[in-house]
Amino acid sequence: MKQMQENDYKGRVKPSWCPGCGNHAVIMALRKAMTSLNYQTHETAIVSGIGCSSRFPFFMATYGFHSIHGRALPVAIGLKQARPDINVIALGGDGDGLSIGGNHFIHAGRKNPNITYIMLDNEIYALTKGQCSPTSRIGTITKCNPYAWTADRLNPVLMALSFNASYVARGYSGDVKQLEQLIKGGLEHKGFAFIHIISPCVQYNKVSSFEKIKEIVRNLPDGHDVQDRVNAMKYAFSSDGVYTGVFYKVQRPAYEQRYEDVISKAKEIAGNNITIKDVIKQFQ
């Protein structure tokens, strides 16, 4: 097996994000995490939806699937179920994953496929030049809501916890070192790993800039019990700052593992060497 270097993961296309965009830190952290796990490019697939962050697969040398808006998760889960041998990473923005693709997020948590889902949250629709997203703050002013944004925010970490994702973490683009650890933890986790990354947009979001986020983020306290889901929810709820780190981590059988039982049961009935000619007996 080839010993991978960070540069081996660089794709044919150079990142097209704005200078200063939070996503640069995320791609750096992902490459580092993959290097430390020696992920082979041909055994890894990155699946995204639509949005600035969803351009990610083009900038990587792995297999990639840049799908349609909101559908990174179903494509990634389908791929993982068909090919459990492949490392599958789903990835996209807050609009992609919480708005148009929100339904899939719910069911990914419940099903627990062994994939890592990285949500790059800039609290705005940036690719369409700045409209409010499900994580925009109330009162935000954009061209689409020139007087005020009138809907409350979603809390992605709290959502993931309630959907029963088996690994839930939050990071921030200002801390690549922590990001690398969180992503590595997610990749190693056998089950649905959700990593929420606050990744500021330098172009369209002046409300949640690097400086402002830096003031409010803080590490989860040492000794936080990652198996305690209720306590994890309390930290996710917290109004005294935005916590980063691993909120929750438990082991339960992954979706594809559970389906192995289905296959065993079916084979118990049918035998191991069934052919199509055995199947048609029921039609005779």
**Residues making contact with other proteins (CB under 8 A):** 11-13, 41-45, 47, 55, 57-58, 61-68, 71, 74-83, 85-86, 103-104, 106-107, 259, 262-263, 265-267, 269-270, 274, 276-277, 279-280, 283-284
Cβ-Cβ contacts under 8 Å for 160 (sequence gap 6 or more):
105, 109, 168, 194, 196
Choose between 113 and 171: whose C-beta lies nearer to other proteins: 113
User: In Å, how far from its chain's centre is CA 242?
Assistant: 18
Q: Where are the alpha helices (DSSP H) in 130-228?
A: 156-162, 176-188, 210-216
Choose between 216 and 266: whose C-beta lies nearer to other proteins: 266
Choose between 147 and 281: whose C-beta lies nearer to other proteins: 281
Least separation in angstroms between CB 250 and other proteins: 23
3-state DSSP assignment of residue 245: strand
Q: Is the CB of residue 62 less than 8 Å from the CB of residue 53?
A: no
Choose between 37 and 207: whose C-beta lies nearer to other proteins: 37
3-state DSSP assignment of residue 51: coil
Q: How does 133-151 read in b/e, with b if 16+ C-beta sit within 10 Å?
A: bbbbeeebebeeeeeebee
* Interatomic CA distance for residues 37 and 19, integer angstroms: 28
Choose between 66 and 190: whose C-beta lies nearer to other proteins: 66
Least separation in angstroms between CB 208 and other proteins: 28
Least separation in angstroms between CB 55 and other proteins: 8
Choose between 239 and 273: whose C-beta lies nearer to other proteins: 273
Least separation in angstroms between CB 77 and other proteins: 6
Least separation in angstroms between CB 70 and other proteins: 8
Least separation in angstroms between CB 82 and other proteins: 3
* Interatomic CA distance for residues 35 and 137, integer angstroms: 36
